[in-house]
Structure 1
Amino acid sequence: MTQDHIIQKLKNRYHLLQSLIANLKHGFPARELKVIAVTGTDGKTTTTSMIYHVLKEAGLKVGYISTIEAKIADETLDTGLHVTTPDPWDVPYYLDKMRRKGITHVVLESTSSGLQQNRLFGIKFDAATITNIKTDHLDYHGTWENYAAAKYLVAKKLKEKGLLVLNGDDKKSAEWLKEKLIEDKLADKIQIQWFRKDMLSSLQEKVDGMSFTFKSVAYQLPVIGSYNQENALAAISICSRYVSEDKIVNALKTLPVPKGRMEVIQKEPYTIIIDFAHTGHALDQALKAVSNIKPSNSNLITVFGCAGRRDRSRRSMGEIAARYSNSIVITAEDPRDESLADINSEIIKYAQKHSALLVTRFKDSEDYQQRKGKYIQDQKNNKSKILMYAFDQEAVNSRFDAIDFACSIARKGDIVFITGKAHEQSLAFGNTEYPWSDHEAVARVIANHESK
């Protein structure tokens, strides 16, 4: 259902009523907090985590609400299976709980749908950043312009003299945002800061992290990727409003890597990385980053899929994977009530545009167990072709078998890159959410391989 459908418009009014009632019940808690909004197509959770960590290490009393969890003092709450911005009832509840715990600053990860559907009614932001605006969620928003307008609501919800941090490297959104800010005459009401990666110098990157200089200050972070440079610049710009440069520098050195965000699980004999890239832009940036740290003469093996009942343009990720990978393993990522085999076929067609060769498709676990030996050996002997394998079983086993296969064909020095699920705790087939964890699957695969 698109945002312009009459039923969705009625739902949005209902969400507005829910938010109003919840705020009245909890006394409009955001009025006593400095709320920092983080939105964008990609990078929201990592940027949220960076800002939270810096402010916490600097001694501020800070909480956050992200895709992964809500952190309220010493309490950690699960925020759902496939939700970023919680329901209208929940946001004032979380904020009120934070206020009662003495928290003064809150970092709130905000989705385009959450903003457009009035789930954040009653909140005025002290600061906000838009990490980027790519093409996504058009199944709901209909057009890129509608999607961008929903993200832009964080700017309109800023307090007077609030800070808006924007990404100058995201060309399309940068031009659109500049026009909107002029049109709405916001420049005189809020503070606006732009960042670009060409403002960095002395950039170095390796598997353990990166370092760079920004505005004559040297920073070190235990994360990789050009998109994490953007996330870091957004976080640094936001945090500079609240704490000194030296506190930001010291805090970023000890940044915990968010679960499933370019998370290195194993380094030897081959590297395993779990990530959440599930859009074309995110996958392109992630694979580019991994390629930059990959040893020469080693292989990049990419494991991913595309969600059903979501923006179909995401399936072009097949071509992106083929551009960077030596081997591609296609599997389930919440097919919902679409056929997994049909989704995989679309991904395969895109990958074939970049000369990827489909070797075989496994229909179920029994088929995989019977035939995997031959393909594991053939893959290890491959020197030049981009080989592709698909796992089509309508069950969580399709993803487990895909991870097992990727690790089976990996040689010393290779990188196995598993993306699309990360922190999420379920896989959706039909209308059912089945328990699932990429981390647990990887642990099982490693244990199984070590026992042989």
Structure 2
Amino acid sequence: MKKIIKKIFPKNILNLLHLFFALWGSVKYNHSSEELLVIGITGTAGKSSVIHFLRQVLEFVGFKVGSLSTVDFYINGQLKLNDKKMTMVGKYFIQEKLREMVKVGCNVAIVETTSEGFLQHRHKFINYDTIVLTNLYPEHIEAHGGFENYKKAKLGIFEYVSKCRKKNCHAEFISASPGILKQVQDDIAKTAIVNGSSGYANEFLNFNFENKIKFIAKNVEATKIGLNFVVEDEQYFAPIYGAHNAENLAGVIAVVKSLNINEEKIKQAISQIKSPPGRIEFINEAEEQGFQVIVDYAFEPVALQKLYDVVDVIKPNGKIIHVCGSTGGGRDKARREPIGKLVGEKSNIFIITDEDPYNEDPQEIMEAVKVGALKSGKIEGQDLFMILKREEAIKKAIELARPGDLVLITGKGSEQKMCVAGGNMIDWDDREIVKKFICLSKRK
């Protein structure tokens, strides 16, 4: 039905339909965002990680939190992995989840807010209080028709939040929240928080916000036990991998400080933080076999380079075996060859496979990735393999792995579905497939 509707109606008409659903959802669920402190997270990368980290910190200091992200839907301790293959789910979904948060006593909602969702009006009638920009660089270009259009959509999100009606700070859901100081004004200040290392930071602060905050992580040291970094002259430690996560955590710290939370409480929370599912996730079952497996969401060159920065810290004793492909559906075709070249240069064995082809020919996508791999010096049949079925590619990687090796499986992370031809989705989880083949290898 969805495919037929898309063929019949032009995009502008469909967007009006999205607008209607957003309005009707807000009415149907009694304007739920008015009863929550709503924090929006946007940016090119790191959105879901920031949400995952922020949720943990806010819960540590006593808030009841709900969150909606690419990774999961979370409401006051109840978590469901996102199986929608969509971040801002349409129709009434967001408003329905906000109402569920209110019903169980949440006082904070964190909403991953995307540029595509913005263009489809999925943010409308959500009264945000704070908006955060994680970073901004060229990505999702084909979906927007160029970087300037992409940036314009992100700026539009900030403009929208700056114009949201202020909420009264003496409302029950605010006064019940721990850590928020009594405010002189009667309304909650609208707050914009941006990555200070972005060259576009000032553009995003050029709207009518009461609070305008830049964050930046300094003196970042990535070690085998975690991250040391400095934010506003305060030293922090987080037991997670990825130097880029220091920047994500700096954004989290900025949000929590804007709520006047005690500094020592923040440090305690950060020191116990855990990574999101499918983000630099180690599969423990592999350690019994003497090798390591990391499943990660990285699907474009910048994120893949950040993952290899983590590999440099881990320093595996053996080979690096990497399984990945590139997404179909017209999503930034230009990145396919660079992915092949980067992974070809960094890995010892490269297995190119299928990865959400949508209606594209998966073999053609793989061939485009192979062009880059061949340019890196890889030789097909020796250290480069083309395996169409992703499950078989993962099996091959596990079979090739020896003690001391590191297997990287990237592109999907904890995603629960794979998008294939005809608008169909099949159940999927890279992590469970890895575990299955490790278990089978033990029996041999």
Tell me the TM-score range normalised by the shorter chain: 0.7 to 0.9
> What TM-score, normalized to structure 2?
0.86
Query: SS at 1:82's partner residue?
Result: coil
Tell me, in whole angstroms, the C-alpha distance in 1 between the residues paired with 2:59 and 2:18. 32
The structure where strand makes up a greater share of residues is 1
Structure 1 residue 343, shift from structure 2 partner: 0.7
Deviations 1:59-98 (A, max 9, x none): 0121111112221224334543311112141111111221
Partner of 2:376: 354
SS at structure 2 position matched to 1:35: strand
1:399 aligns with 2:421: no
Matched, 1:140 2:143: yes
Confirm or deny: 8 A CA contact 2:341 2:372 kept in the other structure: yes
Residue identity matched to 1:83: M
- State the distance in 2 between where 1:15 and 1:302 align: 40
For 2:292 and 2:404, the matched residues in 1 are separated by: 7
Closer, same or farther in 2 for the Cα pair 1:437/1:189, shift >3 Å? closer
**Among 2, 26, 29, which residue is 2:32 paired with?**
29
Return the alpha-carbon distance in structure 1 between the equivalents of residues 311 and 191 of structure 2: 33
In structure 1, the residue matched to 2:179 is none
TM superposition shift of 1:417: 0.9
- Give distance in 2, aligned partners of 1:421 and 1:39: 20
Is 1:343 aligned with 2:335?
no
1:113-158 Cα deviation digits (max 9, x unpaired): 1112111101232212111222222232111111112222332133
Structure 1 residue 306, shift from structure 2 partner: 0.8
Task: Indicate conservation of the 8 Å contact 2:191/2:209, yes or no.
Answer: no
User: Please, which of 321, 324, 329 is the counterpart of residue 351 of structure 2?
Assistant: 329
Within-5 A mapping of 1:424-439: 424-431=415-422, 432-439=424-431
Among 257, 261, 264, the residue aligned to 2:279: 261
Task: Report SS of the residue matched to 1:356.
Answer: coil
Query: Residues of 2 paired with 1:81 and 1:304: CA distance?
Result: 21
- Alignment check: 8 A CA contact 2:32 2:98 kept: yes
Deviations 1:276-298 (A, max 9, x none): 01122211211222223224x53
Distance in structure 1 (CA, Å) of the matches to 2:129 and 2:79: 24
Q: Are the counterparts in 2 of residues 36 and 126 from structure 1 also a CA contact under 8 Å? A: yes
Q: CA RMSD in A?
A: 2.3
Instruction: String of CA shifts for 1:256-304, please: whole Å, max 9, x gaps.
Output: 3211011111345111111101122211211222223224x53222111
Do the aligned residues in 2 keep the contact of 1:300 with 1:415 (CA within 8 Å)?
yes
Percent identity over paired residues: 30
Of the three residues 114, 120, 124, the one matched with 1:121 is 124
Letter in 1 for 2:107: T
- Distance change >3 Å, CA 79–CA 449, structure 1 → 2: closer
- Which of the residues 200, 223, 228 maps onto 2:219? 200
Please give the alpha-carbon distance, in whole angstroms, between the structure 2 residues aligned to 1:210 and 1:271. Answer: 20
Is it true that 1:167 corresponds to 2:170 in the alignment?
no
Deviation at 1:180, TM superposition (A): 5.6
For residue 278 of structure 1, the aligned residue among 280, 291, 299 is 299
In the alignment, the residues of structure 1 paired with residue 375 and residue 134 of structure 2 have an alpha-carbon distance, to the nearest angstrom, of: 30
Take 2:158 and 2:279, find their aligned partners in 1: how far apart are those partners?
26
Following the alignment from structure 2 to structure 1, what is the Cα–Cα distance between the partners of residues 11 and 313? Answer: 44
The reply on whether 1:39 has 2:42 as its aligned counterpart is yes
Q: Deviations over 1:20-48 (max 9, x none)?
A: 11111222111221111111221111110
Aligned length: 407
Distance 1:354 1:193, change over 3 A: farther
Structure 2: distance between partners of 1:106 and 1:189? 20
The normalised TM-score by structure 1 is: 0.84
Which residue of structure 2 aligns with residue 413 of structure 1? 404
CA distance in 2, matches of 1:133, 1:261: 19
Distance 1:299 1:169, change over 3 A: farther
The reply to whether residue 227 of structure 1 matches residue 244 of structure 2 is yes
How far apart, CA to CA, are the structure 2 residues paired with 1:179 and 1:167?
12
Report the secondary structure of 2:440's partner residue. Answer: helix
Runs of at least 5 residues in structure 1 that lack an aligned partner in the other structure: 360-374, 376-386, 393-397
> Does 2:245 correspond to 1:245?
no
Q: Does residue 313 of structure 2 align to residue 292 of structure 1?
A: yes
**Residue 18 of structure 2, aligned match among 15, 29, 35:** 15
**Kept after mapping to 1: 8 A contact 2:83/2:417:** no
SS at match of 1:76: strand
Matching residue's letter, 2:89 = P
1:347 CA drift (Å):
0.2
